[in-house]
Structure 1
């Protein structure tokens, strides 16, 4: 464990993975903020974080306009990464592999939902096209379309990117600009009325703070309970499989969302597939045990049905990771608590976290620096909606 250099910080961020580092970096970038930052991370290897298990996917195919705008900013950020990082020549150029998402509908009701979503996306500048089964088959002959009615597809700024490089540079740049990272753990908080006055570390130090940011991923509720706050976020297990095809496709495979819930896409010279389990309970925070029956009994049969060339494939690698799953409405919780004014949430992304991290990290930094969201209005994600029982409706949740 490392002790911090000071006994008081303007901002203490609990969790130093993708969101902790995004908020830290955006704070150093914000001209309205000149305070001190402490990032407390219990595992500096990040081995078991959601960040390390991400598939780094990005899509604009949401039903809520604010989610579309968030991803549009993310696409711009990735494509202009070096420029956003101040033109630092050490920073690599990142590619956004725009193979697109392909949502497939097997019922007319599902197809109608896709049509409605496409209209919303198009109205907000997304390049989504609604396609008939015949149009999809013409563009991607390898699909079996016998049970498909229609689909939505977007080849503009939608696909996947190298998210871990983005994370690494946020962390590195934030530290170079003065944010202090320590290998430690917040184990308690002192709350006086509507404010958190201090946090206590596992190594014994009591650190005074102006603002606390909960960037604890699937462990968000453990952090919030130290402040006397309940938050509907729990770890849900998600499975990823990397496989090689004996008969590879003659073109890129879009990130295909099969009606079964299985998704698949090109992954370099290999292919990637994933899915949630049919029985999807909360799991222990340290449970990353794989269920190999999911590959044999669910994923492989779906792959072979949807893409007959995938009847002969070889599993190369696989892992289980955790979604920070918002059980209330599967969307982010952003900004201050309604009663504890200096306790800030960046939680509950339910699988959308990497693609939303540029915009939401920026928005949280704006709130801390100025008391308001400046560039995108993120108030629909406020904790207060949970208090009111008013869900944020997003139909396109994977």
Structure 2
């Protein structure tokens, strides 16, 4: 049922209430001195098709860019101290970070050298990533077929799986408790001032017009549609990503790290089951409402890669599968964060290309600082600014999955 806003004017209007809309909203309630009125507009409060609902809920330290590594380090700190960050309320559950780690497998000397260089960067920032020989991999994980593998990187500290759904749920709950208003409605238009330097108001599907001090684009794969309402554009498009849950007739005797196979397929432990996934070989942009599955992808790509890498998985049973969307940044597959240089009160928090859930604690905090104080205070996220999109300057991150 469509809901109408309680007021005609808000200091902050957030377009989209999934993980980023709710993270920014909650962090705003934690900014000392910020007393602004905040409205979150969510077109589908069931979040059935939101990228947040289709996430695999993993976090890794294994990036190659210092900013991304530090974002994940704070993410791990946030997960492990979740209740304390939420104010110590005993109703807030503790979150567990199951640190089985990511295992990047290299099948060429050049790839192995890239992993070694990445490990050096990560180690310099305090990450526990190991660069491993095939013999070392086999000693720890004897179930892998390593015939074509020359090296790997692995990290079992603050890297693995956590309950992203619970984190999201409490972002919403605590944002509401802090005074943020959520409505089931949809932003359908924006009115700019005469100089086109600021959004003055947003129009809702219910025909209500709401004045605003700041607009936050937190609309995931729909980011371009929201930006265009303000006369702006960003290189973000929906792309399909497939996830499969399977049971193994011969389960492994230890946790399976989130293994990044050279084929592009990834696989990991998922409770008593296992999870695998990857992109289709043909990976075009899709319509924001297109969640149709390619049912041949499992047989043609995913399962062959899984069974080749782990022969114990030759006898498995598919239990479940789903299709989700990456909000895919076609420039460099990294976040676009911060105000537009022309329409200064329009703030982007878009284009995470699969990194969104794990980066939401740090980036939600940073965007809230930007809105409340006009600058980043905890971690400088300036490298993600939209200016690089306008100039075509790539944010270099080699560890994109």
CA distance in 1, matches of 2:234, 2:108: 36
Q: Whole-Å Cα distance in 2 between the matches of residues 351 and 283 of structure 1?
A: 16
- Paired position in structure 2 for 1:42: 43
Deviation at 1:160, TM superposition (A): 1.0
- Alpha-carbon distance in 2 for matches of 1:109, 1:265: 25
- Alpha-carbon distance between aligned partners in 1 of 2:126 and 2:226, rounded to the nearest angstrom: 38
Tell me the equivalent position of 1:146. 147
Give the match for residue 252 of structure 2.
Answer: 249
CA distance in structure 2 between the aligned counterparts of 1:155 and 1:111, rounded to whole angstroms: 19
Deviation at 1:262, TM superposition (A): 0.2
Q: Secondary structure at the match of 1:181?
A: strand
Residue in 2 that maps onto 1:92? 93
Match of 2:362 among 352, 359, 362: 359
Partner of 1:173 in structure 2? Answer: 174
Cα deviation digits, residues 254-301 of structure 1 (max 9, x gap): 000000000000000000000000000001111111111110010111
Task: Tell me if 1:209 matches 2:212.
Answer: yes
Q: Contact 1:79/1:96 (CA < 8 Å) preserved in 2?
A: yes
Following the alignment from structure 1 to structure 2, what is the Cα–Cα distance between the partners of residues 105 and 80? 34
- The aligned runs of 1:44-63 (5 Å cut-off) are 44-63=45-64
Within 2, Cα distance between the matches of 1:280 and 1:110?
Answer: 23
Tell me which residue corresponds to 1:301.
Answer: 304
Aligned pairs (5 A) from 1:85-124: 85-124=86-125
Q: Distance in 2 between matches of 1:328 and 1:338?
A: 18
Q: CA RMSD in A?
A: 0.5
Partner of 2:201: 198
Deviations 1:150-175 (A, max 9, x none): 00000000001000100000101101
Equivalent pairs, count: 398
Question: Contact conserved, 1:32 with 1:370, CA < 8 A, in 2?
Answer: no
Aligned equivalents of 2:367, 2:54: Cα separation in 1: 24
Question: SS of the residue aligned with 1:96?
Answer: coil
2:400 corresponding residue in structure 1: 397
Q: CA deviation at 1:13?
A: 0.1
Q: Which runs of 5+ in 2 are unaligned?
A: none
- TM-score for both structures, normalised by structure 2: 0.99
Distance in 1 (CA, whole Å) between partners of 2:179 and 2:389 is 35
Q: Deviations over 1:63-92 (max 9, x none)?
A: 000000000000000001000000000000
Secondary structure of the equivalent of 1:325?
Answer: strand
Q: Secondary structure at the match of 2:117?
A: helix
Give CA-to-partner distance per residue, 1:331-388, whole Å, 9 cap, x none.
0001100111100000000000000000000000000000000000000000001111
Q: Structure 1, residues 192-226: CA drift from partner, whole Å, max 9, x if none?
A: 12100000000011100000000000000000000
Tell me the CA shift for residue 140 of structure 1.
0.2
Task: Give yes or no for the alignment of 1:264 onto 2:260.
Answer: no
For 1:196-345, list aligned pairs within 5 A: 196-345=199-348
How far apart are residue 32 of structure 1 and its match?
3.0
Per-residue deviation, residues 101-130 of structure 1 (Å, max 9, x unmatched): 000000000000000000000001110000
Matches within 5 A, 1:382-393: 382-393=385-396
* TM-score, length-scaled by structure 1: 1.00
What is the DSSP-based 3-state SS (H/G/I as helix, E as strand, rest coil) of the residue aligned with 1:334?
strand
Give the Cα–Cα distance (whole angstroms) in 2 for the partners of residues 58 and 160 of structure 1: 6
Other structure's SS at 2:368 match: helix
- SS of 1:97's partner is coil
Aligned to 1:69: 70
Query: 1:63 touches 1:394 (CA, 8 Å); kept in 2?
Result: yes
Contact kept, 8 Å, 1:277 with 1:294, in 2: the verdict is yes
Structure 2 CA distance for aligned equivalents of residues 148 and 199 of structure 1: 54
1:21 aligned partner: 22
